[in-house]
Amino acid sequence: MTESPFSSTYEDARRRFVQASRAVGARMSSYPLHIEDGAEGEDFTIDVAVLGPEDAPTLVTSSGVHGVEGFLGSAIQLAQLDELRGDIASDVRWVFIHGVNPFGFSRIRRFNVKNVDLNRNFLSDDSQYTGAPAGYDRLNGFLNPATPPSRFEPFRVKAIWNIARYGMSALKQCVARGQYNYPRGIFFGGSGPSQAFQVIKENTADWIGPAKRVLHVDFHSGLGAYGSYKLLLAELTGSDECQWYERVFGQDLVEATDVSGGTAYRASGPMGEWLQDQFSDRDYRFVTAEFGTYGPVRVLASIRAENRAHHFGAKTSQAFRNAKQELLECFCPADQVWRRKVIAVGLDILSKGVRGLAASHA
Ligand SMILES: [Zn+2]
């Protein structure tokens, strides 16, 4: 591909995804979401491309669960579709889920139109959308100031003070785990299943077909060291599944859920665990591919500032534009070296996935 697979807007990413999917002869489906924010005449869709034999092991990729992170995931999907154009492997079925949170993707937000973090929204039928970690209650005033962005904002000072007080790992856990009590707060998991959750719920069985073996790679960014990546698992260290992922992708790159001091934090209601539960009659393996950008204080500051500007800032203000630009930079750096690297790595993850699926799971 001569043109960069990175798009500068959601609309552009969507158009290119549809075009590239058609070029490889994929079966396309578009699922419109009904967005009420005065966004008249705009289409927000989850677009899905499926290709390859019905009963083959299936490789699923998804992008944009966290809106703005879709710039990265969409670019990898586009690069992969471009590769398939020359060489459609017949031993794997591909499913590309593009823009799971198209509103956030379009508006440079991590959250959806109802401020929901979709990776905190996939609760089981018997769970209630209530509660917040105790630490979140204490930090709510710091995380979610209910005022427009101001010029003087000693975020770093407060953040560093809180890190010193609670410890980074405890802080990450209580802030980012997800909460259901503060609808305008960051990491809000919603008050019920989101439209995106419904689309996934109603259609995944159709997308993956009768495949007994599925590997799902969900692309994310903003966690971990700049330019590096980790594949985060829901499974435990030492489990058979964990060993399979280590063999397929390399031991150093796989991080099980129980690793202390690791990249990840335990989230409530993540999409992957819901899918694995839902398809427990088959071998449904799921990795969250996390690409690192900047340090956690800067990334958290960007999420907080954008959320504040979104709810309390004037859309025409410079502060609003700055907040969007910084969020985009934190989840998809403009740096060409970073961009080339994540594409190469993303394609490598998928080609290892194909080989892993083709080989025995045992
Ligand atoms: Zn993410």
Ligand 1 centre from 68 Cα, in Å? 9
pLDDT at 3: 87
pLDDT in tens, 20-31: 999 999 999 999
Mean pLDDT to the nearest integer, 279-302: 95
Which region among 38-42, 57-61, 285-289 has the lowest average model confidence (pLDDT)?
Answer: 38-42
Q: Give the chain's end-to-end CA distance (angstroms, integer).
A: 36
**Domains defined along the chain, listed by start:** 1-362 (3.40.630.10)
Ligand 1 centre from 219 Cα, in Å? 7
Residue carrying structure tokens 């690192």:
292
pLDDT at 361: 46
What are residue 254's phi and psi, to 5 degrees?
Answer: -100, 135
Ligand 1 centre from 289 Cα, in Å? 9
The dihedral sign for the CA sequence 50, 52, 56, 57: negative
pLDDT in tens, 239-279: 999 999 999 999 999 998 777 666 667 788 999 999 999 99
User: For residues 104 and 182, is the Cβ–Cβ distance under 8 A?
Assistant: no
Mean pLDDT to the nearest integer, 276-303: 95
d(CA 279, CA 296): 33
Ligand 1 centre from 269 Cα, in Å? 13
pLDDT in tens, 6-23: 999 999 999 999 999 999
Q: Inform me whether the pLDDT recorded for 209 exceeds 70.
A: yes
Mean pLDDT to the nearest integer, 73-89: 89
More confident residue, 36 or 111: 111
d(CA 215, CA 353): 7
Ligand 1 centre from 336 Cα, in Å? 21
What are residue 104's phi and psi, to 5 degrees?
Answer: -65, -35
pLDDT in tens, 94-127: 999 999 999 999 999 999 999 999 999 999 999 9
Burial of 232 (0-12, 13-18, 19+ CB in 10 A): buried
pLDDT in tens, 174-189: 888 899 999 999 999 9
Ligand 1 centre from 291 Cα, in Å? 9
Which of the four pLDDT bands, split at 50, 70 and 90, describes residue 48? very high
pLDDT at 165: 79
Ligand 1 centre from 233 Cα, in Å? 14
User: For residues 162 and 142, is the Cβ–Cβ distance under 8 A?
Assistant: yes
Which of the four pLDDT bands, split at 50, 70 and 90, describes residue 173? confident
Question: In whole angstroms, what separates CA 144 from the centre of its chain?
Answer: 22
- Work out the widest C-alpha separation in the chain, in whole angstroms: 58
Ligand 1 centre from 153 Cα, in Å? 25
Which of the four pLDDT bands, split at 50, 70 and 90, describes residue 362? very low
